Structure 1
Amino acid sequence: MLHDEVIRVYVGTDRSQLLAVSVLEHSIKRHTTAQVEVIPMIDMDYPIPKNPKNWQRTGFSFSRFNIPKLAGYKGKAIYMDADMQVFKDIRELWELPFNGNKVLIQQDLKHTDITMKKDNSPVKRIKQCSVMLLDCENLHWNVNSIVQELDEEKYSYQQLMADLCILSEEEIGYTIPFEWNSLEYYDENTCLIHYTDMGTQPWVSTRNPNGSVWFQEIRDMLADGSLRLTDLKKEIDFGYFRPSLIRDIRYGKVVPKFLLGLFNRKNTALDKLKGYAPHKSVYQEKRKRINAVREYEKLNCPDAQEMG
């Protein structure tokens, strides 16, 4: 790595997770001496696919495909989701060799026997493209063209997002270790934890078994002045973070293990009393998409409606 090379990290996010991006940035920078630029990709204006089955699942799902353009089709870049936290030097990820590939993504899955038992886990865990190393000089992606090809049914949303079907198999390297996209799992080997189960992310739920790790990052930020308590309270007032988070930050570290269950139940009760609804805007968009799919199928697949 060149001494003056800047590691560019593009983060997919929406307004509700901007503070989570700050936590991610803090965790990256305190574990490296490299120059790092963290770029939140927010409020990007992308065309909407005609078929609502192909709509973005989040407000930033298509953002990763815009990175080469944002980087001027030069150098390389890292993509991450906002709901992550880093524990090792990001140069380990940055310096992975492409070996002729254009994109590097997750190598394998581990620890599913543990993470599938946690609250809000999915029916099945799959490898994700939520951490990517991109060779921007050799990726000529254009989001408008990608959406057009979705409309032309050249591929499905699932094939695009999970399989990266816009690249050939030879252009994809499966060499990012699980430890750099550790799905809901944390131990001494974890380089990056991904709080991928939305319903139990530490800032919206008391039920994440690794929540204390994220809380400590917040405490470190408050201690070094990179975050103010008023900033945290502002996100809570907006409804983006749960009201009980303040109690976790202030008292969670000193609560005895045998009282932790009671402490979390009180926090949950407080959130309920305050009328807190986690990821309210995300779930509103999900319902909107589900209703749009029904209407689309009613208009375009009447036979399927009758059979159903």
Structure 2
Amino acid sequence: MTNNIIKVFVGCDPNNCDLEQMMVLDYSIKKHTTVPVEIIWMQLSRNPESFWYSNPEKGEGWDTQKWATPFSGFRWAIPEYCNFEGRAIYMDADMVVLSDLSKLWSHPIEGEAIVAAKTKDAIARLCTCVWDCQKAHKILTPVSQLKADPEGHGKLMKQFKEHPELITPYIDSYNCIDGEDLDIEDIKILHYSDMGTQFSHKYSLPRLEKEGNKHWFDGGIMPHPRQELSKLFDEYYKEAVDAGYNLEDYRVEPFGVIPKKSHKRYKGNKVTRPIKGSILSKIFNR
């Protein structure tokens, strides 16, 4: 790759719910990556000059009504943000990087593909992916249209599902969903994806309550079935603090109420919530 700096775009909450996730992700990236990294935090903003501007009351900017998270649709805007030049990595905030991102950064994106991502079980998982921004120009919806269409995110997910040739598959462990069946040493990027079992809740929920705020996830909270992964997050959290990282460095002016889907009926995934009747489901009373 000719790019001297790895650009990492991270989707995160605009009301300071994800500070712990942001700090651990930032630290984990820099702990393992051997070249310079620039992190762009993608958060809804009330500033009309921001690329991520939204004003639901006036019907301006990004329309998030159909999104499952406060940042679901932002991943599609990254190539245009980069002026359709070079490469860019996208990832959700709920990640712990356990390998050198320079290897993911240089992953081949071949043929008609415009992005490298996980395609396990015929599902396009674009929650950690590498964009070829120039090639994406001819495929992706212009941001001016995308941000005004609440269905835009869903439409693009459907398009990529129906056109797998747009994706170059990479090693599954670059987006390891809640540990799957891998040992820690075999995971390149841990994605603690189940929003009900996220390791950061033990820190963020008490903090938010003390601040008089609530988390954007409104579903049920439960323990993660792999406690060694929870311990790993705790270790990285402590390492980050000991290295001088501070939650306040990630705090922003709160956005306010976010129009989005509710998670009252959120069911997680089959990794964290096994089929009813299995041994694990009995252990966790599910």
**TM-score bracket, shorter-length normalisation:** 0.5 to 0.7
Quick check: 1:207 aligned with 2:226? no
Q: In structure 2, how many angstroms separate the alpha carbons of the residues matched to 1:288 and 1:214?
A: 24
* Amino acid of the structure 1 residue aligned with 2:97: V
- What's the counterpart of residue 215 of structure 2? none
Which whole-Å CA distance do the structure 2 matches of 1:65 and 1:207 have between them?
A: 32
Q: What is the CA distance between 1:145 and its match in structure 2?
A: 2.4
CA distance in 2, matches of 1:69, 1:159: 18
Which residue number in structure 1 is paired with residue 236 of structure 2? 217
2: CA distance, partners of 1:203 / 1:47: 27
Structure with bigger RCO (C-alpha 8 Å, 6+ apart): 2
1:131 counterpart letter in structure 2: T
Q: Is 1:137 paired with 2:131?
A: no
SS in 2 for 1:37: strand
Contact in 2 for aligned 1:66/1:143 (Cα 8 Å): yes
Quick one: structure 1 residues 288 and 21, their matched pair in 2 at CA, closer, same or farther if it must change by over 3 Å? closer
1:57 to 68, 83, 108: 68
Write the letter of the residue equivalent to 2:73: F
TM-score, normalised by the number of residues in structure 2: 0.66
In structure 2, C-alpha distance between the alignment counterparts of 1:86 and 1:103, rounded to whole Å: 19
CA distance in 2 between counterparts of 1:183 and 1:157 reads 21
1:164 alignment partner, one of 160, 164, 188: 160
In structure 2, what is the equivalent of residue 77 of structure 1? 88
Contact 1:62–1:143 (8 Å) recurs in 2: no
Q: Counterpart of 1:130 in 2: which secondary structure?
A: strand
Q: Which residue of 2 aligns with 1:268?
A: none
1:7·1:35 contact (CA, 8 Å) conserved in 2? yes
Q: Pick from 157, 162, 183 the counterpart of residue 177 of structure 2.
A: 183
Structure 2 segments unaligned to the other structure (5+ residues): 45-51, 54-60, 203-221, 252-256, 266-286
Specify whether residues 223 and 47 from structure 1 end up closer, same or farther in structure 2 by C-alpha distance, changes over 3 A only.
closer
The one-letter code matched in structure 2 to 1:207 is P
Q: Which runs of 5+ in 1 are unaligned?
A: 110-124, 236-280, 291-308
* Cα displacement string for residues 205-224 of structure 1 (whole angstroms, at most 9, x for unaligned residues): 57122211111111111211
Query: Cα–Cα, structure 1 residues 289 and 195, in superposed 2: closer, same or farther, change >3 Å?
Result: closer
Change (3 A) 1:31 1:48: same
Structure 2 equivalent of residue 306 of structure 1 = none
Counterpart-to-counterpart distance in 1, 2:158 and 2:195: 18
1:196 matched to 2:193? The reply is: yes
Larger radius of gyration: 1
Tell me, in whole angstroms, the C-alpha distance in 1 between the residues paired with 2:92 and 2:108. Answer: 22
The answer as to whether partners of 1:107 and 1:177 remain within 8 angstroms in 2 is no
**RMSD between superposed Cα atoms in Å:** 3.5
CA distance in 1, matches of 2:87, 2:95: 20
Q: Residues 162 and 36 from structure 1, CA distance in 2 versus in 1: closer, same or farther, beyond 3 angstroms?
A: farther
Paired AA for residue 21 in structure 2:
A
Structure 1 length-normalised TM: 0.61
Aligned residue in 2 for 1:286: 261
Q: CA deviation at 1:21?
A: 1.8
Q: Which residue is 1:227 aligned to?
A: 246
Q: CA deviation at 1:93?
A: 0.6
CA distance in 1, matches of 2:195, 2:30: 25
**Contact 1:24–1:86 (Cα < 8 Å) also in 2:** yes
Residues 96 and 288 of structure 1: CA distance in aligned 2, closer, same or farther (over 3 Å): closer
1:129, 1:162 within 8 Å by CA — same for their partners in 2? no
Identity %: 29
The 5-angstrom pairing of residues 142-153 of structure 1 reads 142-146=142-146
Q: Distance in 2 between matches of 1:170 and 1:287?
A: 33
Compute the displacement of 1:163 (Å): 5.0
